[in-house]
Amino acid sequence: MSENSTPVILAGAAGRMGLEAVRAIVASPQTRLAGALTRQAGLGQDIGILAGIEPTGLELTNQLASVLTHAPAGTVWVDLTRGESAYVHACQALAAALPVVIGATGLTPAQIEDLRQRAQKQQLGVLLAPNFSIGALLLMRFAQQARVYFDWVELIELHHEKKLDAPSGTALKTAELIHAVKPVEHAGEAHPARGQQVHGIPVHSVRLPGLLAHQEVIFGAEGQTLTVRHDSTHRSSFMPGLLLAIEKVKGLKELVYGLESLI
């Protein structure tokens, strides 16, 4: 940790993704942990011990107002909770003049638009990232390139059984980016067995134990198919992208949806 390291307040610190983020933030010389929030789990415990590393001197708390009041200069708010909580937290962090990184999915279009307006008014960065994995971001880019040459496309996303939202935020963003290249004209009629149509693209969601985060985009044309697939087998795969998001959001003055536009 250097004198110029970025202070980070982490909401959702006691979750599986949160604990992985704690380890990454503490290990990086570019960041330092300035606060760790949880709703209930681990209250009062040293977040370092809970994460399996050296004690940090920071206890898990649910006192959001107090944490914001004592935030060091230059702090970035990172939220790894869920949709509604992440939205409420982001509003309060922006009001306290903190840029915000949101790794939660499940925010409504109205909530995203409200955060967009708040960020613009405050001239602060909000980075809404459905996926922090660099590999997943490259999958989106490769899918856009393939879309130029293929008219037919379907998407399959697979996650662990505890993931609540479906389709995933990554799948929704991928479909949006593919559609932006060329609208889909061959989706066919909607049918329960054919996936949920997103921008005309059938999206199939799988939730099973043993999975973490996986996605494949299948393109079809006469006599050939092309499959672009990415697999995250451990949450450590998200950490380089998370650290990049913390660095990038400091230079933003608006809401940006998707880390892929900043790499």
- Indicate which residues carry an active-site annotation: 159, 163
Residue 97 marked ligand-binding: no
Was 200 annotated as part of a binding site? no
Query: Is residue 180 a known part of a binding site?
Result: no
How far is the CA of 207 from the CAs of 18, 105, 165, 204, in angstroms? 21, 16, 10, 10
Name residue, tokens 């681990």.
42
Does the annotation flag 150 for ligand binding? no
Alpha helices in 71-217 (DSSP H): 83-95, 109-122, 134-147, 169-181
Query: Is 75 part of any known ligand binding site?
Result: no
How many Cα atoms occupy the beta-carbon half-sphere of 74 within 13 Å?
11
Residue 48 marked as a ligand binder? no
The amino acid present at 167, given as its one-letter code, is P
Bridge partners (DSSP) listed for residue 102: 79, 128
Which amino acid, 35? G
Q: Which residues pair with 21 in a beta bridge?
A: none
The length of the chain is: 263
Please indicate if the annotation marks 55 as binding a ligand: no
Residue 106 annotated as part of some ligand binding site: no
The answer to whether 54 is annotated as binding is yes
81 labelled ligand-binding: no
Three-class SS of residue 133?
coil
Binding site per annotation, positions: 12-17, 54, 103-105, 129-132, 160, 169-170
Binding site per annotation, positions for (S)-2,3,4,5-tetrahydrodipicolinate: 160, 169-170
Binding site per annotation, positions for NAD(+): 12-17, 54, 103-105, 129-132
